[in-house]
Chains A and B, each alone.
Chain A
Amino acid sequence: MTLHRPWLRLLLLTALVAVPEEQAAAQAGTVSTARIVSLAATKTGKLTMGVISGAAQTLGTLTDNTTNNFPTPVVIQTQWDLNPGQTGSVNVIGWFATPSQALTNGVGTNIPSSRMKGMLTPGAPAPTSFPATFTAFTQNAVGGIGTAGGSLRLFQINISGANKTQTRTDNLSLQLDLTGAGVLPPGTYSGTLNIEAVTQ
């Protein structure tokens, strides 16, 4: 078909130009479905505990019916980095796996954990609570750490903004109290004291 009339030619051209412009105007402002990207960055709380010295406690002369102090303390270092809004306290627990056999001579004679006592000489700042005098390992577990009747909470420190990050060193003195116990057969009595920290 040949367009003979100039005015008709102009009208068609205008129409062709106008159509693409209308489509462009319709696509501007069109949005896709929203998609989300989840971001998560976690800083985990840190709680470490170690025995700096005194991991081998030896008492060369054990005497019946009296208290027997081990000569040097167990030096414990505890370190944490915690969120005070999410942690109530840090606790360090000492315990014997089998309270009725805290120490044994290997031939049938046992010393129960009620005869083993611990006393903490704390570093600064002082804990919220700790055994300031020799106290038997006869407490229960704390936060799942320890054994029933064979444990001793060595310290509890409430966590706040002021102490959310801390490294502390404490001395644990041990005593074997045979006061009132029967006469022990001579021999070497051995055992293992477990120490672990837990938050509550």
Chain B
Amino acid sequence: MKLSTKGTLLGAVAAILVGVSPAVAQVGLTSSLATVNINATKSSVLSLLINSGGTQTLASLTDNTTNNFASPVNVTTTWDLNAGSNVVLVGSFATPAQALASGANFITTQYIKGRVTTGTPTSYTAFTQAGVGTIGTAGGSLTLFTQSTASLAGNRTDNLDLQIDLTGHANLIPGTYTGTLNLQAIVQ
């Protein structure tokens, strides 16, 4: 059998097409789409750290005058928030009538004062304020600073100076008067 020139050409083209078309079909083959749902949560932060001065000692308490504790309570407050206007630091005594006690003898919060020169009470002020939000006690609290949270993340370090002001107080019965001052911050 003799193939004409035309027939030979057609045969060659057909052979080429047969070889090429399946290759095109397998390149670009895709699977179905799978998805992975991702969730990552960053929690809000409001923390308080007493760097120093967690124990305050006054060795010699004198009647009818002011008695300053020797060194301040150094506090760092850190916040990282997504809402809120202010961070408020509050100091309070659980039982205002018994801020410090020596047996059955008490010193009330009226005679315990604090100040934060970088905060709100820049002069000594008694712990006789109301609580703030859910923290503090009525008549036994003191707002130490109110920090705007225009910047939702930040920190600040403050010194809280403490004083027992016995001015006008009847003479105390000698003894060691102890108590606990609570510090807590709240977002408002």
Chain A residues in contact with chain B, CB under 8 A?
42, 44-45, 47-51, 54-64, 68, 70, 74, 76, 78, 82-83, 85-88, 94, 103, 111, 116, 143-145, 174, 176, 183-200
Contact = CB atoms under 8 A, between A and B. Distances in A.
Contact of A64 (B22, B27, B42): B42
B41 A59 contact: yes
Nearest to B81: A186
A163 to B, nearest CB: 14
B44 A186 contact: yes
Given A82-B26, A86-B23, A183-B80, A55 B37 contact: yes
B16 interface: no
26 contacts: A45-B25, A45-B26, A48-B31, A48-B32, A51-B35, A55-B35, A55-B37, A61-B41, A82-B26, A85-B23, A86-B27, A88-B27, A111-B40, A174-B36, A183-B80, A186-B82, A187-B41, A189-B40, A192-B38, A195-B34, A197-B30, A198-B28, A198-B29, A198-B30, A199-B26, A199-B30
A49 B38 contact: no
Contact of B37 (A48, A176, A192, A196): A192
Contacts of B40: 58-59, 62, 68, 103, 111, 176, 188-190
Nearest to B151: A183
A170 to B, nearest CB: 13
A60 B34 contact: no
Which 3 A/B pairs are nearest by Cβ-Cβ distance?
A62-B42, A49-B31, A86-B23
